[in-house]
Amino acid sequence: MKFLGSQLSYFFANRRTKTNVKKLLKFVGVLFLLYVTYSITFHYVAAYEGQDFSWLTGFYWVIVTMSTLGFGDIVFTTDVGKVFSMLVLFSGVLFLLVMLPFTFIEFFYAPWMKAQNQARAPKFLDPNTKDHVVITKLTAVTEALIKKLTSYKIDYVILEPDLQKALDLSDLDYKVVNLDPTDYETYQRICIKNASMLVAADSDTINTNVTFTAREFSESIKIVASANSIDSVDVLKLAGANHVIQLGDMLGRALARRTLGGNARVHVIGHIDNLVIGEATVKETPLIGKTLKESNLRENIGVNVVGIWERGEFIHPEPDTMINNESVLVLAGTVEQLRNYDEVVSIYHISDEPVVIIGAGRVGRAAARSLEERQVDYRIIDKNPERVSTHDNGKYIHGDAADIDVLKKAGLEKAHTVLITTHDDDVNIYLTIYCRQLKPDIEIISRATYERNVNTMHRAGADFVMSYASMGSSSIFNILEDKDVIMLAEGLNIFNYKVDEKLAGKSLVESDIRRKTGCTVIAINCKNERMLVNPPPSRELKLGDEIVIIGSNEGEKLFTDRFLD
């Protein structure tokens, strides 16, 4: 009923539509008068031939004759009757079979379909709309962002200038308006001054146009723009963007941060306030073969184990969880606590062998720059000679990574880690299987474009998988909410949440967060107190406390559905 109401409002809001409806009603009125006139004349002709029929029979005969059905149960035999029958028949052909369909389609059906389309892909938003996120294009990144916005009950709208594409998006249950993001008038119609953020997610040139146009309309709107080229960053900022994100650079650096081999030191992957999150391999350290309780990491060093990776599978730690040779510990603590951990274990598992990077695109080059900043050696493989020829530092190798000789030249046989960064998921899956077969104990970190391929890459042997979509959507969401959300791996995040009336006064065990959502509270940031890491189940949550939670995308959605107003 709500959708029908919106259709009717769009239908009758157009002045031309009102005129067309009046014309259609006039035509129907003329048709009705003609029908009544023929029905009355029918009785005079019948009387002329000496026949007598009821008024209902007269109405019946006229409609049967005008519609060309002609049952033949009532027939005139005189010339007058035959001429009258032909007149009614030809009138019916002209008015019912020719003019009525054309008039109905032209004056009613076509405007109604147009109104229906406008209701599905309108040309404006309700003037009372506020705190919404405006998205200029649906991409893998913005699609993931929309899922997160929906989970947190934040309104959004997609701008799509092509009507058919807008209708297709509407059919997929996206909220869309049929407007051009480069048109100045668009921002009046979408209430941009009341919006919380504009996300420019098209090409660099279009994003510049969109940013400049929106900034002209509103000086206060927060604008986030994506940039493929580093040269576009300054231009987008000059155009008015508050934040410019380079997804290729971000993803490359994120993949490089996951490079844990070479030593047993903690590699910091992010922080939330004073809580630092890091990962460390335990390969060839005295921790192997011990349970977490036996390792005494919390008692002796002060660092807390909040998770364990086992070949791409994340395990929530328990006191009796065993530490294996392939385990990667997810650690939480202060900077000093993580340094204490390094002093104890960094002497183990020393290796100077280079990291092998497959793919010298934006992501691969960004990963190489990040490793170079950490003084980690690398070799990068690419079959595009132009990418290789522009770097003459001996670290770039021309060739196909599917060729075993090329991989040997890059040092795969001795390498502790391989980063697979090509933009083709099928190629990445193939190379993951190939590298795992060639060296079973190597750490494989892969990039994914589509979320559906993440599990396939893990099954193929990847230890960690990360994608544009997750990195980009998390970064944009962090800017929107001013939050610190850390993506541990594809589909697994650490995020924070301020305690409200739903949880205040309950202990962690009473809140039942883990059973209801699958998420785990790893820290509590208390007012005027030091952050409590790995709080006991009996710890009571107080109004205004900020809890730090680790969980999957599905768990985060369940958490927001249950505990977010």
Residues 13-67: pLDDT tens digits? 556 666 767 777 787 888 889 889 999 999 999 998 888 899 999 889 988 888 8
- Is 442:281 a contact under the CB 8 Å cutoff? no
Tell me where in the chain the CATH 3.30.70.1450 domain(s) lie. Answer: 263-345, 491-563
Q: What is the per-residue pLDDT across 417-451, written as a single tens digit (0 to 9) for each?
A: 999 999 899 999 999 999 999 999 888 999 988 77
Q: What percentage of the chain exceeds 70 in pLDDT?
A: 88
In sequence order, the 6+-apart residues with CB closer than 8 A to the CB of 470 are 144, 451, 487, 490, 491
**CATH architecture of the domain with residue range 2-120:** Orthogonal Bundle (1.10)
pLDDT reading at 380 higher than 90: yes
Can you give 323-374 as a three-state secondary structure string?
Answer: CCCCEEEEEEECHHHHHHHHHHHCCCCCCCCCEEEECCCHHHHHHHHHHHHC
Query: Residue 270 contacts by C-beta under 8 Å, 6 or more apart in sequence?
Result: 276, 277, 484, 486, 494
Residue 1, pLDDT score: 45
Q: What is the CATH number of domain 355-469?
A: 3.40.50.720
Asked: is 133-245 a CATH 3.30.70.100 domain? The reply is no
DSSP bridge pairs for 464: 445
pLDDT at 547 over 60: yes
Q: Where are the CATH 3.40.50.720 domain residues in the chain? A: 133-245, 355-469
- What pLDDT sits at residue 2? 44
2-16, 360-374, 421-435, 471-485: which has the highest mean pLDDT? 421-435
What are 86-133's pLDDT values in tens digits?
998 888 888 877 777 777 776 666 666 665 666 567 788 888 999 999
Q: pTM of the prediction? A: 0.68
Percentage of the chain beyond pLDDT 90 is 28
> Could you confirm whether domain 491-563 is CATH 3.30.70.1450?
yes
Return the closest-CA partner of residue 422 out of 356, 357, 369, 355: 357
What is the pLDDT at residue 157? Answer: 95
Which DSSP letter does residue 450 get? Answer: S
State how far the Cα of 561 lies from the Cα of 565, in Å rounded to an integer. Answer: 8
Is 514's pLDDT higher than 90? no
DSSP state of 96: I
Domain at 263-345, CATH class: alpha beta
Report the sign of the C-alpha dihedral through residues 91, 92, 97, 103, in that order. Answer: positive
Mean per-residue pLDDT over the chain, rounded = 84
How far is Cα 458 from Cα 199, in angstroms, rounded to an integer? 31
